[in-house]
Chains A and B, each alone.
Chain A
Amino acid sequence: MTELSSPCVNFSETSFDEFLETRREPAWLLSLRRAAWQTYCDGDWPTRSDEEWMRTDLRSFRLERFAPPMAGGGSLRVDGLLSRNVELAGNVASADGSLVEQHLADEVRQQGVLFGDWESMLEEHGDLLRPYLEKPLVESSYDKFASLHAAYWTGGRVLYVPRGIVIKQPLHSISAMGDGKTDLGRTLVILEEGAEATLLTETASSDESATGFHCGCTEIYVGPRARLRFVNLQNWGLGVWHFSQQRVRVGRDASLQWTTATLGARLSQVNQHVVLAEPGAESQVNGVLFTEGKQHATCNSLQHHAATDCRSDFLYKSALQDTSRTVWRGMIKVDQCAQRTDGYQRNDNLLLSTRARADSIPGLEIEADDVRCTHGSTSGRVDEELIFYLQCRGFTRKEAIRTVVTGFFQQIFDRITIESVREAMSNAIARRVRDYE
């Protein structure tokens, strides 16, 4: 990785000091950043001998082409796909890592709910947030991208829902990025005991072919008996480099429904880990990927059963066009103590071109003896007989392919209870399907 180890003019010792100067943050946070920077400097870039990066080609990634995000940097406004035709309880919009606007319904605010950008949250609720930043779910030493993020992160959103509070309407947050810009956004969600919320997050670029660099982190705590519905849509321009660490900790008898969609970015490298940390926790992860052109999307997923009587369900579906490629490495890890585990993982791939490629690598690591874990994966091309049948009913070839692709994803759409999200995803995918070679 000679390209990566060449001096990075933009992310350098000097620029880091300058960056810290601009941060109006408490001392404890600045020292966390400094420590992360040191970790970053000491660390090596991932190579193809690292398991998670084995199938990821970073050769044309040039960190020096991107600059650290600057305070008050962006002003780009992009209309989200997920917020259409839905009444929101709140909204946070950022551009290039800087806040553009935010809003939270009064009746929700009065219940003690916090939802907003980091700057104002740290100012007013630093004590509440400090432990989460000092003991993060994503270690800054996880890999070099994680260190870079921990040193330089800006922007993103914080959601805190106090004990027993139920927010009926969804909350929404969008991160926009201009061509060639940087977004190092961080998402922190804390649901206290018995709280309930729905959070819709999405990313967008100034245009479909925009470039950019995202190196982000999402940390979510679902407290005892709390319920979270979380949707994240990655819809960057097709030139964006996307690196993301995502972690959820699900507490006792709590439940998580997580729907993730990957549509954008030239390269997307995501680690999606769910820890079922206490007895009776439940998670459902639904993934939708649509890739085209030369896009590459890797997902390393982990369902970690660390307590008894937990259930985890994981379903990823990808459709691939042109010469795009997806890689899914899935792991169900069951600790010795995690008896009566029920774990499921599945990955289905639909190849819309002979030149696309999908790798599915499911994995089980089981130390308990009373468990039920199943996994499976399929890869196949669109069946010409289906296309012909639809054509015989008046569908054009293109409509037929779209219909088959939409049908392929329907199993996941059926699980999405928020209509606007379901529609946004199915429309975004249908729009992209061209022909099938």
Chain B
Amino acid sequence: MADVLKIENLHVHVEGKPILRGVNLKLVRGETHALMGPNGSGKSTLGLAIMGHPKYEVVEGAITLNGEDLLERSPDERARSGVFMAFQRPVAIPGVKMADFLRHAATNVRNPDRKEGAELMPMRDFRRELKARMSELKMDVEFARRYVNDGFSGGEMKRAEILQLAMLQPKFAILDETDSGLDADAVRLASESIAEIGGKEMGLLIITHHDKLLEHNPPEFTHVMLGGRIVETGSRELADELHNLGYDRIRATYPDDEVENRTLLDKEKAGV
């Protein structure tokens, strides 16, 4: 049976403010889902809540992996269960080299029961593998010696996220605007890479504003988020419609959610 990541009636608060208001989503491994929606509708929040960010408080609902409660698990346990998110805004970790970071990450994710301090995967095997993945992604080997995301350009950060996806080979991956901040060539390369590194074997939740990524990784389902809810779910055509025509129809059809979305955005702008 294929692995299933299930989100049911998810309500999430950030600093006491309700952001997600009852999200339902079922991701089967092997499927690709597109998650779209205007800015501030809660797409990143959903991803961060799935990963277990401490600031994102689940006040109601469930997240399960093959029926097992993920909410009980710490973010690292979730990662070791095979759930991955490529960050919209990855953070820099000064002084920590990409290679060391990836070796530790790959060791832990591949051996979910590894004890702290136990041996990392053999350096030679790791190097060979890293080199292969980097060459597939057309990344310079020098990249591995740089500090994680430290001084990276926007595009480099996104490519580093894809490299991590390739090395960790999760069951489920949330790609949060992994195609933003890239030029046209880089978007094409990223899109192809994601398909190549086994996107088909994963359950993908692709958050995007562009169509290139979806062209190479065609979604079976498209979800539209507005004001912290998934207001509509459709097929590939829904994504195309939103690309071509924008969110006017959605906003008009779901005025209450549109009000929610606006309120959240205004609060964000006001810095509340």
Contacts and interface: CB of A to CB of B under 8 A. Distances in A.
Interface of A: 383-386, 388-400, 403-404, 406-411
Given A393-B168, A394-B168, A403-B104, A388 B54 contact: yes
B75 A392 contact: yes
Determine the interface band of chain B, counting residues with CB < 8 A from chain A.
20 to 34
Interface string B33-54: 0000000000000000001111
Given A393-B164, A394-B168, A409 B108 contact: no
Report, nearest first, the 10 A-B pairs whose CB atoms are least far apart. Answer: A410-B95, A407-B95, A394-B108, A391-B75, A393-B105, A407-B96, A394-B109, A391-B76, A394-B79, A389-B91
A390 B101 CA distance: 9
Q: Mostly helix, strand, loop or mixed at chain A's interface?
A: helix
B76 A384 contact: no
17 contacts: A388-B51, A388-B54, A389-B93, A390-B93, A391-B52, A392-B51, A392-B85, A393-B164, A395-B104, A396-B74, A396-B76, A399-B116, A403-B93, A403-B104, A407-B93, A407-B96, A408-B95
Contacts of A409: 95
B79 A392 contact: yes
B80 interface: yes
Contacts of B152: none
B125 to A, nearest CB: 17
A279 B259 CA distance: 71
Given A385-B91, A392-B79, A397-B74, 11 more contacts: A383-B91, A389-B87, A391-B52, A395-B108, A396-B74, A398-B116, A403-B104, A407-B93, A407-B95, A410-B94, A411-B94
Residue from B54, B76, B78, B104 whose CB has the most chain A CB atoms within 10 Å: B76
Nearest to A393: B105
Nearest to A408: B95
Contacts of B93: 386, 389-390, 403-404, 407
Contact of B94 (A389, A397, A408): A408
B54 A384 contact: yes
Contacts of A398: 116
Contacts of A390: 93, 101
Interface in B82-114: 84-85, 87, 90-91, 93-96, 101, 104-105, 107-109
A389 B157 CA distance: 13
B173 to A, nearest CB: 11
Interface string B139-176: 00000000100000000000000001000100000000
Residue from B84, B95, B108 whose CB has the most chain A CB atoms within 10 Å: B95
B88 to A, nearest CB: 12
Contact of A391 (B74, B87, B164): B74
Contacts of B168: 393-394
Nearest to A431: B117
Given A394-B109, A395-B76, A406 B95 contact: yes
